[in-house]
A and B are shown apart, each in its own frame.
Chain A
Amino acid sequence: MSDRAPYDLGKVIIHAVALLLVLSYALPYLYLVSTALKPAVDVQQIPPSFFPQRLSLENFTSVIGTVGLPEAFLNSAIVAVLTTLLSLVIAVPAAYVSALYRRRLTMLFMLFALITRMVPAVSLGVPLFQIMKTLGLLDTTIGLVLAHTSTAVPLAMLLMAAFFEGVPKELEEAARVDGCTRFGAFWHIVLPVMPSGIAITALFSFIASWNEFLYALLLTSESSKTAPIVIAEFNSVYGLAWGPMTAAAVLYSLPVILVTLLLQKQIVGGLTFGAVKG
């Protein structure tokens, strides 16, 4: 086992390169966090320094005090929660029959879900704006939830169908023999055995909505703006207020990063699956 010897030069070089790669990959985000922790004046100093010379929470307090920003975070959370609930209610039954009652109609419908994932958001956004305007749903939470759900449903359907495919058909058949209705077998027997599949699908729907920008930009203007919209507006309203902007970006992205850290295996699994099926 010569290539497992501790001082194999080739291995040492590979380890060093891998370490360097990972460090340089993490560097940009670390700089974002480090910048957010500087006093606002130090953020714009020339030349810039990677590490803060003084630590300060000034940027964070000013972000939290910014008119509209806490509300925007709250809006983002509300929209994401509602989107998640609505897409699960709609997608889970469809995914269930697609996986356990395979027939031409369900296959066609899954294909349609796949194609939907290719549609550029802007192509749907243009008519959605008009529809929401007609319905009086512009700049409302419901309007944005509906738009986000339209992208979350196909994603949730594809993910859930994959999870349901892991359920043996016999489980459903046994429940039916024991006198369950088809719906009873779905609701009382199959659903309770897959909490983790539902949780991962919920997480993907939540983050898809939490991160979404274009629909939010098109469909909201005042009262139901979400966090990314307000963060983007730091650009124009405050000139180059990099300090608060980096702090807001950290607040906006840190929860997502922590969740990724906790559920790394499941998320990579979900994304890999997403890659395979669309």
Chain B
Amino acid sequence: MTERRFVLLMLMPAMLFLGLLVVYPVALLVYNSFFDVKLIDPASRVFVGLANYVEALTSKRILESAVRTLKYSVFALFFELVFGLGAALLFAAIARHSHWHRTIFALPLMISPIVAGLLWRFLLVGNIGILNYGLAALGIIPDPGAIKWLSDTDIVIYSVAAADIWLTTSFVALVSYAGLMNIPRDVLEAARIDGTNAINRFWYITLPMLRPVLAVVVVVRGIDALKTFDLIWIQTQGGPRQQSEVLSMNIYQRMVRYGDLGQASATATLFLLVMIGIAGLAYWKIWRADRV
């Protein structure tokens, strides 16, 4: 058998499968986005051109959910980086003794977002959420009812991010730790002997050398955060009054509750394009940065 035929044959199952279950659905998605088509009867469809896109781009609810998705992602990512990097630096400072610390940090790595969401809902929920009792006991808030994490429409989108931050800080911490361990000891040691203080060593040596790792973490986690569905769904189902509805959820609701396949497809197509755009840009940047 020629090499060419062998390669083709080995790739064939994956190509067929992904063609059928990824490429075809995406094509169907884009196709549907040009029609007025309902979930209950996808056979009867009316071509509407770009009307679904116009509606998607002018709908207040979709626009708000897009902005909310961004707020959520930036908020979650910021704290994941701060906590994760902080933990990694701490572990690196006690490198030989941090084995158990890192083991405990690794435990949530593979936990389902459903469990994290459920757990944090239980910690934050009104009346029996233990977090507020803890804060009240410490004197940080006047009484356990002072902050309504999941029912205050102004803060709910940030409250639901707590579960994400808890779940993913471990990933950021362990990946950053691996990055820190790759920084040559003697570089830091030389700077220390030269009298560079800890803050300057961190700012001028550690952080720049960690940059490629952090860039990858930001891209991977950023994309995950933008796609979030289950973690928020189990906490609030997008409520109260849609104030925690992110883009994934908006598309889901549009399709399942309102049965509006065409409209949901248009929004989902836009979402897909933006995600691939972001990913492409980020990888291009990282790829180029790696090779300069």
| Contacting residues of chain B (252-275) with chain A, CB-CB under 8 angstroms | 252, 255-256, 261, 264-265, 268-269, 271-272, 275
Instruction: Please indicate the chain B residues that have their CB under 8 angstroms from the CB of A120 in the complex.
Output: 226-227, 247-248, 268, 271-272, 275
In the assembled complex, the Cα of A259 lies from the Cα of B111 at a distance in Å of 11
Interface string of B89-101 (1 = CB under 8 A from A): 0110110011011
| Given A119-B275, A214-B252, A182:B166 Cβ within 8 A | no
Report 19 cross-chain contacts, Cβ distance below 8 Å, ordered by A residue: A18-B94, A21-B101, A28-B120, A101-B6, A123-B272, A124-B22, A124-B25, A126-B32, A127-B24, A129-B39, A130-B32, A147-B21, A207-B110, A214-B229, A253-B112, A256-B112, A260-B106, A264-B106, A271-B171
Instruction: Judge whether B70 is part of the interface by a CB distance below 8 angstroms.
Output: no
Bound-complex Cα distance A275 to B230 (A): 21
A257-274 interface mask toward B, CB cutoff 8 Å, 1 = contact, 0 = none? 101110010011001101
What is the bound-complex CA distance between A118 and B273, given in angstroms? 10
Contact of B251 among A43, A101, A103, A122 (CB under 8 A): A122
The 5 A-B pairs of least Cβ separation, nearest first, read A211-B112, A94-B14, A213-B230, A127-B25, A150-B21
List the B residue with the shortest CB-CB distance to A14: B93
Closest chain B residue to A269 by CB distance? B178
**CA–CA, A183 to B3, complex, Å?**
11
Q: Is the CB of B229 within 8 A of A21?
A: no
Which stretch from A57-65, A105-113, A190-198 is at the chain B interface? A105-113
Residue with the highest number of chain A CB atoms closer than 10 Å, among B8, B91, B115:
B115
Number of A-B contacts (CB under 8 A): 272
Q: Does B79 make an interface contact (CB < 8 A)? A: no
With A21-B90, A109-B15 as contacts: A28 and B166 at CB distance below 8 Å:
yes
Most chain A C-beta atoms within 10 Å of own C-beta, residue among B87, B114, B220, B265: B114
Chain A contact-residue range equals 35 or more
In the complex, are the beta carbons of B11 and A181 less than 8 A apart?
no
In the assembled complex, the Cα of A11 lies from the Cα of B95 at a distance in Å of: 12
Kindly state whether residue B158 has any CB partner on chain A within 8 Å.
Answer: no
Chain B contact residue count (CB 8 A cutoff): 94
B: residues with CB less than 8 A from A are 1, 3, 6-8, 10-11, 13-15, 17-18, 21-22, 24-26, 28-29, 32, 39, 42, 86-87, 90-91, 93-94, 97-98, 100-115, 118-120, 122-123, 125, 127-130, 133, 144, 166, 169-171, 174-175, 178, 216-217, 220, 223, 226-227, 229-230, 233-234, 247-248, 251-252, 255-256, 261, 264-265, 268-269, 271-272, 275-276, 278-280, 283
- From B26, B133, B227, B234, A47 is in contact (CB under 8 Å) with B133
Looking at the assembled complex, report how far the CB atom of B245 sits from the nearest CB atom of chain A, in whole angstroms.
12
Residues from chain A with a CB closer than 8 A to the CB of B265 are: 126-127
Q: For residue B108, which residues in chain A have a CB less than 8 angstroms away from its CB? A: 29, 257
Q: Is A77 an interface residue (CB 8 A)?
A: no
Complex CA distance for A28 and B280, rounded to whole angstroms: 36
Task: Tell me the smallest distance from the CB of B44 to a CB of chain A, in Å.
Answer: 14
Within 8 A of B (CB), among A146-196: 146-147, 149-150, 153-154, 157, 181-183, 186
- B220 nearest in chain A by CB position: A275
The chain A residue sitting closest to B131, CB to CB, is A28
By the criterion CB–CB under 8 Å, are A50 and B130 in contact? yes
Which B residues lie within 8 Å of A199 (CB)? none
Secondary structure at chain B's binding surface: helix, strand, loop or mixed? helix
The answer to whether A121 and B14 touch (CB under 8 A), given A22-B101, A182-B1, is no
With A109-B11, A253-B111, A271-B175 as known contacts, state yes or no: A242 contacts B106, CB within 8 Å: no
Known: A150-B22, A253-B115, A275-B217. 16 other contacts (CB 8 A): A25-B87, A28-B119, A48-B133, A94-B13, A94-B15, A115-B276, A126-B265, A126-B268, A127-B265, A130-B28, A210-B112, A213-B230, A218-B252, A257-B108, A271-B171, A274-B220
User: Which of chain A's residues has its CB closest to B31's CB?
Assistant: A127
Asked if A154 contacts B18 (CB within 8 A), the reply is yes
Q: Give the shortest distance, in Å, between B267 (CB) and chain A (any CB).
A: 9
Assess the A123–B13 pair: CB atoms within 8 A. Answer: no
Of residues 234 through 278 on chain A, the ones whose CB sits less than 8 Å from some CB of chain B are 235, 240, 242, 245-246, 249, 252-253, 256-257, 259-261, 264, 267-268, 271-272, 274-276, 278
Contact A278 B220 (CB under 8 A): yes
Contact, CB under 8 Å: B42 / A130? yes
Question: For the complex, is A67 an interface residue (Cβ under 8 Å from B)?
Answer: no
Q: How far is the CB of A252 from chain B (nearest CB, A)?
A: 6
